[in-house]
Chains A and B, each alone.
Chain A
Amino acid sequence: MTATRRFLPGWLSSYATLYILFLYLPVIFLPIFSINTAATPKFPLSGITLHWYEDLPKTPALIDATWNSLIVGVSASILSTVLGILAARSITRYRYPGRRAINGLIMAPLVLPEVIVAISMLLVMLQLGLSLSLFTVVLGHVLICIPYSMTVLTSGFEGFDRSLEEASADLGESAFGTFRRVTLPMVAPAIISSLLVCFTISLDEFIIAFFLTGTEATLPIYIWGQLRFAAKLPGVLALGTLLLLASFVLMTIAEILRRRAARRTQNEGGLHA
């Protein structure tokens, strides 16, 4: 007993270290090779440079792709957050038959194979006679973003005490005033969090964008295209590093906000706090 206990901490920490290495080693390679002077990703590094980063803004195709990604990301995040607010509000506030089933169906795209979703969306778009463009990419991204948006918003709305809105009305506030002074401030962190999560997902998404876009490339598609040229690899790595960094920052902010929103609404229940 005591032997295992003495042995375990050491064993456990090496296990944990390996675990984290497995998860993050590939991620760490990206920034490391992006500052290598040589174009081939090989150790040892031949020298350190920010040259590849400096080249990025000088590539017009990359600028276009960035703009496309921003347009798609902003539109998809706003659309899926609005739809998410409506669904989350209904699912957390009201009790009606089929509530659980509807919730399940909304969350389902989370586990559907993305390639299949992309192909079926492509079929639908073609059937509808829509020509492929950034707009069709936005539609595809809304589909995959809604489950994430729902998760964030439901946790923000859950436990929202209905009597808070009643108390506001009771104190003389109008319906719009109540929304502005009580509902919005309480769920604002969740809404912002949902926007950030959806934006990040849309920014990084490749398969659906690849199938549904016409001639306009988003960032991941641009990256994929660049991979054909070995000489362009360091640029891709630099771009990838930046994307990684952006995603990480956005997701961290989103998670902090989501927790704050959940704490705000759920603390209300703790009467003996």
Chain B
Amino acid sequence: MLERVQSERIQSDRTMIDIRDVTRSYGSFKALDNASLAIREGEFFSLLGPSGCGKTTLLRMIAGFDTPTSGSIAVDGQPMDGIPANRRPTNMVFQSYAIFPHLNVEQNVAYGLKRLKLRGGEEERRVEEALAQVSLTGLGKRRATELSGGQRQRVALARALVMRPKVLLLDEPLSALDKKLREQMQVELRRLQQAVGITFVLVTHDQYEALAMSDRIAVMFGGRIAQVASPKEIYQRPVNRQVADFLGGMNFVKAEIVEENGASLVLDTLGFGRVRTDKPKSFMRNGGAATLGIRPERLRVLWDNATAKFEVAGKVVERHYFGEITHLIVEIAGLEKPLSVTETNDFGADDIPVGASIRLAYDPEALVAMAD
């Protein structure tokens, strides 16, 4: 709770990175296609998408390692056109960490400071401070080749942060770590960002990572930005099936548009009947058909004689046990694809026999309308 309050204090509405109509072509292939994006000061922003979606290309263009074919990028109001990487107010944490193997930890962290010719022990003080920020105090003399994966990552972070950049760019920084360490680093990275208040731009293909750490996320596919929103909105109100699918499981149900007005849609579906949903801001009608989506965990099993205002009945065809939860595959009359349902095991969902007839409750709020 406290972190939320802090993050709102640090974040402002000032734009830190202004990306305008940026396209990057390689021959006839467009790695990035007319992308526009405004990343705010003090924000933890994630570029999320599958490999080849253009997220790394965009990050490298912000850093200055790649140049837009057209369009412009400005950092803190300064246009970056023609400014090489070594004169940009950005620093990067590389996917491979790029720790200089011929230098020790301290020398790695001090690498960029050497050029600044700081006086009176200022350099040593800043290196110490940066090492403390990433919990590496006392390891300054360690050789780069003697570090573990997690430690290398911390050195890479300290080396970038010690430069006090306006923007810290992170290129899949956690992908080389094992699961446990990755989850621990997610929390630490978020905490670090809150503490230093610097704008972080993270590139990742891991949706959970993006959801857990970001203030806002841009989901990208095939060189285009599909949606920019908060993690909650991206997860709950994806603009299309592609985004919905990438952000975890989603049941898709064919729907017919009956009525469309400014704020809401009325859809006819088999299975869920006639439903009224919020119309997404970016909804673009494409004929009379639409898709209705619902997340598996938003369908709840109704026990015994319990009733709900909104429910569907069906038959369990498969059951998969995952420890704290159970996945049920439920066939519903009229639906061409069975629904997948995630239920916690507190009430014995793991004991529902395959073949059982069950009823599922849902909140109409959880239904998302998507253009086909």
**Which B residue's beta carbon lies closest to that of A166?**
B65
- Cα A267 to Cα B147 with chains together (Å): 11
**Binary flags per residue of A91-117, CB closer than 8 Å to B gives 1, else 0:** 000000000000000000000000000
B152 proximal to A (CB < 8 A):
yes
Q: Which of A21-29, A170-178, A202-210 contacts B (4 or more CB under 8 A)?
A: A170-178
User: Which of B64, B91, B102, B152 has a CB less than 8 Å from the CB of A171?
Assistant: B91
**Which A residue's beta carbon lies closest to that of B60?**
A166
The answer to whether B149 and A271 touch across the interface, beta carbons within 8 angstroms, is yes
**Binary flags per residue of A157-188, CB closer than 8 Å to B gives 1, else 0:** 00001011011111111100100011001100
The answer to whether B149 and A173 touch across the interface, beta carbons within 8 angstroms, is no
The answer to whether A161 and B98 touch across the interface, beta carbons within 8 angstroms, is yes
User: Which of B86, B95, B98, B149 has a CB less than 8 Å from the CB of A172?
Assistant: B86
16 contacts between A and B (CB under 8 A): A166-B65, A166-B94, A166-B98, A167-B94, A167-B100, A170-B160, A171-B159, A171-B160, A172-B87, A172-B163, A173-B115, A267-B101, A271-B149, A272-B148, A272-B149, A272-B178
Which chain A residues border B146 with CB–CB below 8 Å? 273
User: Which of A164, A166, A265 has a CB less than 8 Å from the CB of B85?
Assistant: A166
The answer to whether A169 and B96 touch across the interface, beta carbons within 8 angstroms, is no
The answer to whether B100 and A182 touch across the interface, beta carbons within 8 angstroms, is yes
How many Å from the CB of B167 to the closest CB on chain A?
12
**Which B residue's beta carbon lies closest to that of A185?**
B102
The answer to whether B86 and A164 touch across the interface, beta carbons within 8 angstroms, is no
B99 proximal to A (CB < 8 A):
yes
Across chains A and B, which 9 residue pairs bring their CB atoms closest together, nearest first? A171-B112, A167-B98, A163-B98, A271-B149, A271-B176, A169-B85, A163-B94, A169-B86, A272-B149
How many Å from the CB of A257 to the closest CB on chain B?
14
User: What range describes how many residues of A lie at the interface?
Assistant: 20 to 34
- Cα A268 to Cα B96 with chains together (Å): 8
- Cα A170 to Cα B176 with chains together (Å): 21
Which chain B residues border A181 with CB–CB below 8 Å? 111
- Cα A256 to Cα B274 with chains together (Å): 78
The answer to whether A164 and B100 touch across the interface, beta carbons within 8 angstroms, is yes
- Cα A265 to Cα B101 with chains together (Å): 7
B92 proximal to A (CB < 8 A):
yes
- Cα A272 to Cα B159 with chains together (Å): 20
A169-B84 contact in complex given A163-B98, A177-B115, A268-B96, C-beta closer than 8 Å: yes
- Cα A128 to Cα B254 with chains together (Å): 82
**Which B residue's beta carbon lies closest to that of A265?**
B101
Which chain B residues border A269 with CB–CB below 8 Å? 96
Which chain B residues border A167 with CB–CB below 8 Å? 92, 94, 98, 100, 159
How many Å from the CB of A94 to the closest CB on chain B?
16
Residue from A164, A264, A269, A271 with most neighbouring chain B CB atoms (10 Å): A271
A267-B98 contact in complex given A166-B65, A173-B86, C-beta closer than 8 Å: no
**Which B residue's beta carbon lies closest to that of A269?**
B96
How many Å from the CB of A11 to the closest CB on chain B?
41
The answer to whether A273 and B87 touch across the interface, beta carbons within 8 angstroms, is no
B145 proximal to A (CB < 8 A):
yes
The answer to whether A273 and B148 touch across the interface, beta carbons within 8 angstroms, is yes
